[in-house]
Amino acid sequence: MAERVLMKGNEAIAEAAIRAGCRHYFGYPITPQTEIAAYMAKKLPKVGGIFLQAESEIASINMVYGAAATGTRVMTSSSSPGISLKSEGLSYIAGSDVPALVVNVQRGGPGLGGIQPSQSDYFQATKGGGHGDYRMIVLAPASVQEMASLTMKGFDLADKYNMISMILADGTIGQMMEPITFEDAEVATYEKPWALTGTEGKRKHNIVNSLYLKPDELEAKNFERFEKYAIVEENEPMWEEYMMEDAEICVVAFGIASRVAKNAVVAARAEGIKAGLIRPITLWPFPKKALAAAAEKVNGFVSVELSMGQMIEDVRLASGCKKPVALCNRAGGMIPSPDEVLESLRKAQKGEY
């Protein structure tokens, strides 16, 4: 039976993770995501799981690496500066092709930045962060409900592709409370013949490793991994379209920014401005096809972001630079008001991008 509860976004992630069969959490406190750790510390021991507060973000991501290598469903969570510290581990996990879920409840940066919501880790999440050629599946929830559903989805995708799934949330959705529904979902299980379980003398030893000293071998491994990424790009993009049927201006926004943008689209329509919204739910793979299709029919795009303009580069790329792209942004923990977004739509209506 589906269950309706009122929850904080961060707690929804934690509860969803447990419901997805995650019994191991390794983390380090940082605002504004600490509720995830606190929830796990309380709940995991009661369901036979392990919560462990590590000595650092670096240690916690490496505990995740070890746990993931055993084929165990595992997660960590942090916020922007902490994700920078975890980036070394993210690269190793990606380079070893083991699955894990990592949550980033973003705050303003760079440096210590602030503790208010931000989306300025878009580049870090979608373009790398750690060293080397690798990708993570990046899911951007826009509601507490999606904090839960995308967490469950993230675990599944991670296992399906032996990749990292990152929940790229922000401080607003992390902290706010909304009623959500937990559906009784079957947790899919995947064969993990590569897992470190001990040979029991029955098979050749498994090695989880990202070191390939022979350049031809390392190259082959990279090409093989990117063939997998191509399949993910083909099969897994997720996005929402709102009032796009007859739209002349396409607003692109994810996460909390998309909720403000949606209000602005409604207000713009009331003024006779034919605006619509494309909300990427997966930031990688980016919904390129949706943007390319929109580029054929709209006059221009407005990228609404809580950053100095990061996703806007993907909007330009995906739309083939066919139409102008404006940026409507706030940064440092500030959130644009619907009026600010509306104002940028009015300008776009006048051809001012």
Partner 1 sequence: MAVVFQKPKSLADVPLHYCPGCPHGIIHRLVAEALDELGIEGKAIGVAPVGCAVMAYDYFTCDMIEAPHGRAPAVATGIKRCRPENIVFTYQGDGDLASIGMAETVHSAARNENITVIFVNNAIYGMTGGQMAPTSLPGQVTQTSPYGRDVNHCGWPIRVCEMLATLEGPEYVTRVAVNNVKNVKNAKKAIKKAFQNQIEGKGFSLVEVVSACPTNWGMTPQKALEWVESDMLPYYPIGVYKDRSAAKEEK
Residue 210 or 299: the one with the smaller Cβ distance to partner 1 is: 210
Residue 19 or 24: the one with the smaller Cβ distance to partner 1 is: 24
- Dihedral of the alpha carbons of 202, 221, 76, 85, in degrees to the nearest 10: 130
| For helices 80-96 and 57-69, angle between their N-to-C axes, nearest 10 degrees | 30
**What own/partner pairs with CB < 8 Å and gap ≥ 24 does 285-290 have?**
285/137, 285/232, 285/233, 285/236, 285/237, 286/126, 286/237, 286/314, 286/318, 287/237, 287/238, 287/239, 287/318, 288/233, 288/237, 288/317, 288/318, 289/237, 290/237, 290/239, 290/241
Question: Which of 38, 58, 176, 334 contacts partner 1 by CB under 8 A?
Answer: 58
Residue 61 or 140: the one with the smaller Cβ distance to partner 1 is: 61
Q: Does 178 bind partner 1 (CB under 8 A)?
A: no
Per the CB < 8 A criterion, the answer to whether 15 and 39 are in contact is yes
Residues touching partner 1, count (CB under 8 A): 39
Question: Which of 136, 196, 244, 318 contacts partner 1 by CB under 8 A?
Answer: 196
- Which tokens sit at 26? 């390794």
Question: Which of 66, 81, 309, 338 contacts partner 1 by CB under 8 A?
Answer: 66
Q: Which range touches partner 1 (CB under 8 A), out of 7-15, 70-78, 215-223, 338-346? A: 70-78
Residue 61 or 281: the one with the smaller Cβ distance to partner 1 is: 61
Q: What is the largest CA-CA distance in the chain?
A: 73
Task: With CA atoms as reference, report the closest residue to 302 among 274, 281, 272.
Answer: 274
Residue 65 or 161: the one with the smaller Cβ distance to partner 1 is: 65
Residue 57 or 314: the one with the smaller Cβ distance to partner 1 is: 57
Query: Under 8 Å CB-to-CB from 56, ≥6 apart: which residues?
Result: 28, 85
Residue 262, classed as helix, strand or coil, is helix
Question: Which of 132, 179, 198, 320 contacts partner 1 by CB under 8 A?
Answer: 198
Q: Does 56 bind partner 1 (CB under 8 A)?
A: yes
Instruction: Draw the binding track, 10-29, toward partner 1 (x: CB under 8 A; -: no contact).
Output: --------------x-x---
Rounded CA separation 286/120 (Å) = 16
Question: Which of 20, 69, 261, 298 contacts partner 1 by CB under 8 A?
Answer: 69
Question: Which of 60, 79, 145, 151 contacts partner 1 by CB under 8 A?
Answer: 60
Residue 74 or 164: the one with the smaller Cβ distance to partner 1 is: 74
Q: Which of residues 81-120 bind partner 1 (CB under 8 A)?
A: 88-89, 92, 96
Q: Does 243 bind partner 1 (CB under 8 A)?
A: no
Q: Phi, psi (5° rounding) for residue 97?
A: 55, 50
Rounded to a whole number of angstroms, the minimum distance from the CB of residue 132 to partner 1 is 12
Q: How far is CA 251 from CA 170, 221, 268, 317, in A?
A: 19, 38, 11, 15
- Which tokens sit at 74? 């595992």
Rounded to a whole number of angstroms, the minimum distance from the CB of residue 54 to partner 1 is 7
Q: Does 70 bind partner 1 (CB under 8 A)?
A: yes
HSE on the CB side for 3, CA within 13 Å? 11
Q: Which range touches partner 1 (CB under 8 A), out of 145-153, 175-183, 196-204, 274-282? A: 196-204
Per the CB < 8 A criterion, the answer to whether 37 and 51 are in contact is yes
Residues that bind partner 1 (CB under 8 A): 24, 26, 50, 52, 54-56, 58-60, 62-70, 72, 74, 88-89, 92, 96, 196-202, 205-211
